[in-house]
Amino acid sequence: MKRITLRSTALSVLFSIGLGLAVQAQSSINIVTTAVPFLRISPDARAGGMGDAGIATTPDANAVFWNRAKLPFANYSGGVSATYTPWLKDIAQDVYLTTLGGYYKIDEESAISGGLRYFSLGNIQFTDYSGNPISTGRPREFSLDFGYSRKISDKLGVGVALRYINSSLANGYSNNGVTYKAGNALAADLSLYGNNLDENGQGLTYGLAISNLGSKIGYTTDAKAKDFIPANLGAGVAYTWAFEELHKFTLALDINHLLVPAFPEYTGDTLIDGPAIDEYRNQSVLTSWTKSFGNKANTASVGAEYTYNDQFSLRAGYFLQPKSQGGQSYFTAGVGLKYNVFGFNFSYLAPSGNGVTRNALSNTIRFSVIFDLGEAAE
């Protein structure tokens, strides 16, 4: 059981990905924050072991979370994946992210797919600013999406998806005439994937993924209090070397940019801060995407994967985040096992940082299982 104030409920979610208030208070740092940040958590253990690189790697069922355009190039006619990720396990045992994804190839040219993310913040006791208990709750968030992918040539595929987002942090609570409700938003993904692998699985793959392009989300009836969701522009490239048919080695690189403008920095002058905040709140979603290119919300992921006989994999990676955005850089490692139609992936994030710069997944093992449908392609 945790005790926090009602207003800090949303901030607790931001803290879970390292966007702590203590970091934001530093004048040299202006972290770009969004609502529903659970959509930015790496959703599977394979990519989690490769420094969160997943845009251009070879396709599996978890492609629904990274780049749906991969799916027509998958080796199987379908697949299902599930991942469990403990969150902030050093201080809480009931906070976690679970994901479920799957796809089915309609034919050799196209595929349909779906994905579910569910993020639980555990049991929380709400208090007022004096520490007096108000009520208890179980904040939770989820997203549900469906998509379609198609080859537009032998080496190029595209994908689209629609997503529903629900964020229930303090649903039903009323205070000072304000009633808090669950936030809802709609978003879309667009993706592209290039596959230049030869018959041995060697060659270059690349991808482009624009995700969470959608409406703002709010928790009250006040339209000006709505926040941006984490729209993102990502590009990735990977190269695989194949040796003697049994050995494969892949290097992957992802670059991501958050398509959300930075919140205006406080000057202490209400005549300046007030209009700046109003302008930030009132700008349209389309305008926010354009203005986002003035922020520094960029990250890079570098990953490596060695696979033996398509049955055993070793992975390692590094995630780089600039200090202006929290400086949560870290190393990762992972292992993959495949037996018949079942695949099992494990990843580990090495402890890094201190206090608010410590990643919520530090010293945590996450687990994914994949079930392949149909016969493997030649």
Residue 286 lies in a domain: no
**CA 376 → CA 77, 243, 270, 372, distances in Å?**
8, 20, 64, 9
pLDDT score at 98: 96
Q: Which of 50, 123, 116 is nearest to 83 (CA)?
A: 116
pLDDT score at 103: 97
Residue 299 lies in a domain: yes
pLDDT score at 221: 78
Q: Which of 57, 34, 39 is nearest to 47 (CA)?
A: 57
- Over residues 247-291, the pLDDT tens digits come to 999 999 999 999 999 888 888 877 788 888 888 888 888 888 988
Q: Which residue has the higher pLDDT, 375 or 73?
A: 73
Tell me the residue range of the domain where 315 lies. 35-260+295-376
Angle among Cα 61, 375, 162 to the nearest 5 degrees reads 30
Looking up residue 97, the CATH number of its domain turns out to be: 2.40.160.60
Residue 252 lies in a domain: yes
Question: Which residue type sits at 138?
Answer: R
Average pLDDT, the chain: 86
> In the Cβ-directed half-sphere of 55, how many Cα atoms lie within 13 Å?
23
Pairing of strands 342-349, 156-168: unpaired
Q: What is the mean pLDDT of residues 98-123?
A: 95
Residues with Cβ < 8 Å from 267, sequence gap 6 or more? 273
For 36, the token pair is 């529903």
In terms of DSSP H, where are the helices of the chain? Answer: 8-15, 21-24, 45-48, 63-66, 270-282, 285-291
pLDDT score at 22: 33
Residue 16 lies in a domain: no
DSSP structure string for 123-165: -EEEE-TT--EEEEE--EEEEEEEEEEEEEETTEEEEEEEEEE
Count: domains in the chain: 1
Q: What is the mean pLDDT of residues 37-50?
A: 95
Q: How many CB atoms lie within 10 A of CB 166?
A: 17
- Spatial distance between the Cα atoms of 219 and 176, rounded to a whole number of angstroms: 15
Q: Is 18 exposed, middle or buried (0-12, 13-18, 19+ CB in 10 A)?
A: buried
Contact (Cβ atoms closer than 8 angstroms) between residue 88 and residue 239: no
pLDDT score at 27: 39
Residue 13 lies in a domain: no
Residue % of the chain over a pLDDT of 70: 86
pLDDT score at 353: 67
- Between 8-22, 247-261, 295-309, 346-360, the lowest mean confidence (pLDDT) is in 8-22
Q: How many CB atoms lie within 10 A of CB 370?
A: 25
Tell me the pLDDT band of 181, cut-offs 50, 70 and 90: confident
Q: Which of 331, 361, 225 is nearest to 281 (CA)?
A: 225
- Between 93-97, 102-106, 254-258, the lowest mean confidence (pLDDT) is in 93-97
Residue 317 lies in a domain: yes
- Over residues 189-222, the pLDDT tens digits come to 999 999 999 999 999 999 999 999 999 999 887 7
For 335, the token pair is 């292992």
**CA 105 → CA 23, 44, 113, 150, distances in Å?**
46, 21, 9, 10
Tell me the pLDDT band of 378, cut-offs 50, 70 and 90: low
Tell me the pTM: 0.86
Q: Is pLDDT at 349 greater than 80 in this prediction?
A: yes
Q: Is pLDDT at 303 greater than 60 in this prediction?
A: yes
Contact (Cβ atoms closer than 8 angstroms) between residue 173 and residue 6: yes
- Spatial distance between the Cα atoms of 152 and 148, rounded to a whole number of angstroms: 13
Q: Which residue has the higher pLDDT, 269 or 50?
A: 50
Q: What is the mean pLDDT of residues 346-353?
A: 86
Q: Which of 116, 93, 184, 106 is nearest to 149 (CA)?
A: 106
Residues with Cβ < 8 Å from 77, sequence gap 6 or more? 104, 105, 373, 374, 375
DSSP letter for 51, please: T
- Spatial distance between the Cα atoms of 136 and 71, rounded to a whole number of angstroms: 43
Residue 279 lies in a domain: no
DSSP letter for 287, please: H
Tell me the pLDDT band of 2, cut-offs 50, 70 and 90: very low
pLDDT score at 77: 94
Q: What is the mean pLDDT of residues 65-72?
A: 97
Q: What is the mean pLDDT of residues 220-231?
A: 85
Residue 47 lies in a domain: yes
pLDDT score at 203: 96
